[in-house]
């Protein structure tokens, strides 16, 4: 994940982070759907989930100061869960352990970190939806609306104020596309694919909490 998104990768090709994100989440969505269709009792592996989520980190980095809070929090939470995957095989395992220990909402718990990573995935989904709503819609407007929908209800006044100030430092639409090495048309296609693929993943995580009588308003 180190280096700018426009850096050359090992084979000399230009990095295209949206492609990696979309492919990873389409694979996750396919796994979830296959388990549902087959009636499989096998749960989603934690290491597989973390591998897919790690691709999102680069995107947060492209969004600059306004999303620095999300980048820092998201990256650390994904790292925590990746470390946890050495001990716990699935997402259900970490929730069951925290439920048993009454530590689901304890700061630093794996269940709380999973909740925050899920919030990051949903923030990107909402951002893409707003970005696609109109070609004339600025990235600042799209990001402000997405943040207000997904994260603001759970943040303190100080964090909300800092994010609002940082929105003015966001790249414009063209600058973001350049950082992502995408055209407007290619980015739109991939954003739509992420929106579609991320929904079953987000729903899957939410149902893990709901099935254990854990509310989602935190």
Query: Which pLDDT tens digit goes with each residue over 24-56?
Result: 999 999 999 887 756 655 689 999 999 999 999
Residue 151: pLDDT band with limits 50, 70, 90? confident
Smallest CA-to-CA distance from 154 within 199, 191, 122 is with: 122
* Average per-residue pLDDT for the chain: 86
Cα-Cα-Cα-Cα dihedral sign, residues 208, 210, 215, 216: positive
**Mean predicted confidence (pLDDT) in 179-198:** 95
**Residue 206 contacts residue 216 (beta carbons within 8 Å):** yes
Residue 159: pLDDT band with limits 50, 70, 90? confident
Rounded-to-integer distance, Cα 69 and Cα 60, Å:
9
Burial class (CB in 10 A: 0-12, 13-18, 19+), 87: exposed
> What pLDDT is attached to residue 10?
45
């Amino acid at each position: 994940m180190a280096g700018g998104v426009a850096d050359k990768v090992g084979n000399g090709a230009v990095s295209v982070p949206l492609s990696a994100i979309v492919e990873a989440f389409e694979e996750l969505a396919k796994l979830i759907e296959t388990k549902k269709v087959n009636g499989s009792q096998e749960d989603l592996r934690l290491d597989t989930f973390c591998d897919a989520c790690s691709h999102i980190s680069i995107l947060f980095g492209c969004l600059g100061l306004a999303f620095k809070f999300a980048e820092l929090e998201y990256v650390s939470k994904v790292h925590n869960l990746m470390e946890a995957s050495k001990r716990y095989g699935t997402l259900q395992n970490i929730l069951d352990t925290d439920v048993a220990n009454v530590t689901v909402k304890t700061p630093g718990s794996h269940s709380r970190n999973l909740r925050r990573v899920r919030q990051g995935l949903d923030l990107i989904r909402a951002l893409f939806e707003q970005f696609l709503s109109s070609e004339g819609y600025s990235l600042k407007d799209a990001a402000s609306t997405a943040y207000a929908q997904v994260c603001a209800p759970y943040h303190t006044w100080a964090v909300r104020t800092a994010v609002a100030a940082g929105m003015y430092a966001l790249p414009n639409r063209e600058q973001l596309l350049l950082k992502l090495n995408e055209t407007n048309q290619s980015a739109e296609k991939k954003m739509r694919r992420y929106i579609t693929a991320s929904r079953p993943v987000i729903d899957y995580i939410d149902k893990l909490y709901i099935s254990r009588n854990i509310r989602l308003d935190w």
